[in-house]
Structure 1
């Protein structure tokens, strides 16, 4: 059963990068630079937000397409970056029928907002060409980090309970690996970014769709 929740009201003030991009974009760029592509540098961004990541990647030669369910985000993206194909849409749409498949699919800081993560990852998997690469990120959760947050009184802020359209899933490397493997991904590895690994802000998962 597919569960879809309207998050078209998720707001963006502008089309510029946010603070998380300072540690996510360098890691993403490094991973992309290390890929051995046999075709053109085509990339799909599932949850492109305000288009700032797509725009940054386009400046280094990537042909980027993407979707996001936020009306305001896509409006900001289309206004600032009209040359990019960034459109309204979500993981619950027939994105392969609309855009085709890609050698690389990315999704940064999205899966923690998703009510049906299995449907989301199945859609992500379907967008990746056989033998292609997917790269996603999400806030990192681990025992020691959560213990530090609890001891310092920062757990409430970390779990964003009062944030409309905020985080509703809290992933560890183990739990995310379970769903990534269930979706069909293989050769999964993680990088923890933003602070020292044990207190990392986010984790980046890099994986392959079997050829």
Structure 2
């Protein structure tokens, strides 16, 4: 069996979860989102998903990362950059008016615009997003967190990164640099799609695969980060299911229920078999009605995102 090194804790990993044909991923991106990602997979005809038994990180190998053109195309969708997020409101409660704050992968600066802290610095590679953030009066640089850590070690009271870590090819150096930017006693805030949410039940969710997501984060993987870095876990917070995700949640739940009733084979992340397509079609119509019912109830299940708060030692 192939053995891979975990990109987070460097352990040797043999726990192979699933094998993907890149051609099938390419087809799904084209069918669902109208995007051609074939060039991103040149030289990588097969993608494997592993799960580390030591730190519980799931990672794709090879880590085929999306090109600049891929992300530019995604940013044309109105849902890709959302200015109002529950995670922003939660994170803002951990920021005081006298704090210095670094946001890595700040996009257009939606989080920075809601803050009244002493100093805000954002890092972002997308030139259009940087331009829009600067036009809003924010201090945003086109710079990597590794470069920034070399310039400003131990400078910030708070460092945060929302929905970025899962896109990074080398999460260990990224987290080391983010950690290095923070003062002793300062906070690190990370948000990622949760592998302990309904997201892990969704089949053919290509945005949860390369070249978009390269790692999958469970609560256990986030709880084990302090053992790799000099910090302690303050809080893990799951956002509640957002209205724009309700139908997706219901559909995933219905497909899983039908699979259980019919005693079908173990769920896979990618499944284009006629048998699965039949289950999906059966669930699709019911999901709309189920979502309408769920939206009328004030108690919401956990949603897409988990936010981890750490304190640097």
Q: What's the TM-score bracket when you normalise by the shorter of the two chains?
A: 0.7 to 0.9
> Which secondary structure does the structure 2 equivalent of 1:130 belong to?
strand
Given candidates 193, 197, 200, the residue that maps to 2:239 is 193
Measured in 2, the distance between the counterparts of 1:13 and 1:98 equals 34
Aligned residue pairs total 191
Pick closer, same or farther for the CA change 1:28–1:43 going to 2, 3 Å: same
Structure having greater relative contact order (Cα 8 Å, sep ≥ 6): 1
Alignment of 1:1-211 (within 5 A): 8-9=68-69, 10-11=71-72, 12=75, 18-19=81-82, 21-32=84-95, 40-57=98-115, 60-78=116-134, 80-81=135-136, 83-98=137-152, 101-142=155-196, 145=198, 149=201, 154-157=202-205, 159-161=207-209, 166-195=212-241, 199-210=302-313
Which digits, 9 at most, give the CA deviation of each residue in 1:115-141, with x for residues without a partner?
Answer: 111111101110110111111101111
In the superposition, the TM-score normalised over structure 2's length comes to 0.53
Measured in 1, the distance between the counterparts of 2:107 and 2:189 equals 16
Alignment RMSD (CA, Å)? 3.3
> Which secondary structure does the structure 2 equivalent of 1:156 belong to?
coil
* Structure 2 unmatched ranges of 5 or more: 1-6, 8-62, 242-298
Pick closer, same or farther for the CA change 1:158–1:204 going to 2, 3 Å: farther
Pick closer, same or farther for the CA change 1:90–1:6 going to 2, 3 Å: farther
Q: CA deviation at 1:87?
A: 0.7
Pick closer, same or farther for the CA change 1:199–1:159 going to 2, 3 Å: farther
In the superposition, the TM-score normalised over structure 1's length comes to 0.75
